Chain A
Amino acid sequence: MALPPVSFTLEYPYTRTVGPVVGPFLTGLRDGRLFGIRCRGRVICPPIEFDPETGETLAHDFVEVGPGGRVESWSWIAEPTRKHPFQRPFAFALIRLEGADTALVHAVTAAGPEAMAVGMRVRAQYRAERTSAITDVYFVPEALAVDSYVPPGKGEVGITDHLISLVYDEPLTAARERYAQGLLAGRFIGQKSPKSGQVFIPSAGYDPLSRVLMTLADDVELPPTGTVVGFTVITPVQYYGQKETEPYIRASILLDGADTPLGQQDIRDIPAAEFRVGLRVRAAFREPASRSVDDFTNRWAGTGNCIERWVPTGEPDVPFEQVEGRMF
Chain B
Amino acid sequence: MERCAVVGIGQSKYSKRRADLSIDGLVREAALRALEDAELRFADIDAIVIGKAPDALEGVIMPELSLADALGAVGKPIHRVHTAGSVGASTAISACTLIESGMFQRVLTVCYEKQSDGNATWALGGGRSGSQGAGGSFAPWIRKYITKSGAPEHIGWKVAVKDRLNALKNPYAHLHLPDISIEKVRESPMLWDPLHFLESCPSSDGAAAMVLTNTAGAARAPRRPAWVIAHAKRTETIQFPGRDPVRPAAGVECAKALYKKAGITDPRRQIDCAELYVPFSWYEPMWLEGHLICDEGQGWKMTDSGATELGGDFPVNMSGGVLSSNPIGASGMIRCLEAASQVRGTAGDYQVEGARIALGHAYGGGANYFAMWIVSSEPAPSFH
Contact = CB atoms under 8 A, between A and B. Distances in A.
Judge A-B direct contact (beta carbons within 8 Å).
Answer: yes
Given A49-B28, A50-B28, A235-B190, A16 B22 contact: yes
A50 B69 contact: yes
Given A17-B18, A22-B22, A57 B32 contact: yes
Contacts of B245: 327-328
Interface in A211-250: 230-237, 239-244, 250
A241 B127 contact: yes
B140 A237 contact: no
B74 A52 contact: yes
Given A55-B41, A325-B244, A235 B189 contact: yes
A286 interface: no
B2 interface: no
B59 A164 contact: yes
B172 to A, nearest CB: 19
Nearest to A252: B140
A288 interface: no
A212 B60 CA distance: 35
Nearest to A19: B22
B147 interface: yes
Contacts of B346: none
Given A10-B56, A241-B129, A300-B126, A327 B192 contact: no
B348 interface: no
A259 interface: yes
B239 A324 contact: no
Contact of B130 (A8, A55, A244): A244
Nearest to A301: B239
Contacts of B191: 234-235, 237
Contacts, number: 157
Contacts of B144: 230, 277, 324, 327
B350 interface: no
B56 A19 contact: no
A14 B193 CA distance: 30
Interface string A302-328: 000000000000000000100011111
Interface stretch (B114-122, B177-185, B304-312): B114-122
Given A11-B127, A12-B118, A320-B147, A18 B133 contact: no
Interface string B218-233: 0000000000000000
Contacts of B104: none
A29 interface: no
Size range of the interface on B? 35 or more
A57 B143 contact: no
Contacts of A12: 56, 59, 118-119, 122-123, 127
B5 to A, nearest CB: 23
Interface string B122-138: 11001111111100100
A208 B121 CA distance: 28
Contacts of A328: 141, 239, 243-245, 366
A302 B22 CA distance: 38
Interface string A1-39: 000000010111011111111100000000000000000
A260 interface: yes
Contact of B132 (A8, A250, A260): A250
B42 A54 contact: yes
A289 interface: no
A237 B202 CA distance: 13
A230 B129 contact: no
B24 interface: yes
Contact of B237 (A57, A164, A208): A208
Interface in A237-285: 237, 239-244, 250, 252, 259-260, 266, 272, 277
A281 B266 CA distance: 46
Nearest to A244: B130
Interface in B40-79: 41-43, 56, 58-59, 69-72, 74
A244 to B, nearest CB: 5
A127 to B, nearest CB: 22
B286 to A, nearest CB: 14
Nearest to B19: A17
Given A19-B25, A243-B129, 20 more contacts: A10-B56, A11-B127, A12-B119, A16-B114, A17-B18, A17-B21, A20-B25, A21-B22, A49-B24, A164-B59, A230-B143, A231-B140, A233-B192, A234-B136, A237-B133, A237-B191, A242-B122, A244-B129, A260-B239, A326-B242
**Shortest 10 CB-CB distances between A and B: which pairs?**
A19-B22, A259-B241, A232-B139, A55-B42, A230-B140, A55-B72, A233-B193, A243-B129, A19-B25, A10-B127
Interface of B: 17-25, 28, 32, 41-43, 56, 58-59, 69-72, 74, 114, 116-119, 121-123, 126-133, 136, 139-141, 143-144, 147-148, 189-193, 237, 239-246, 366
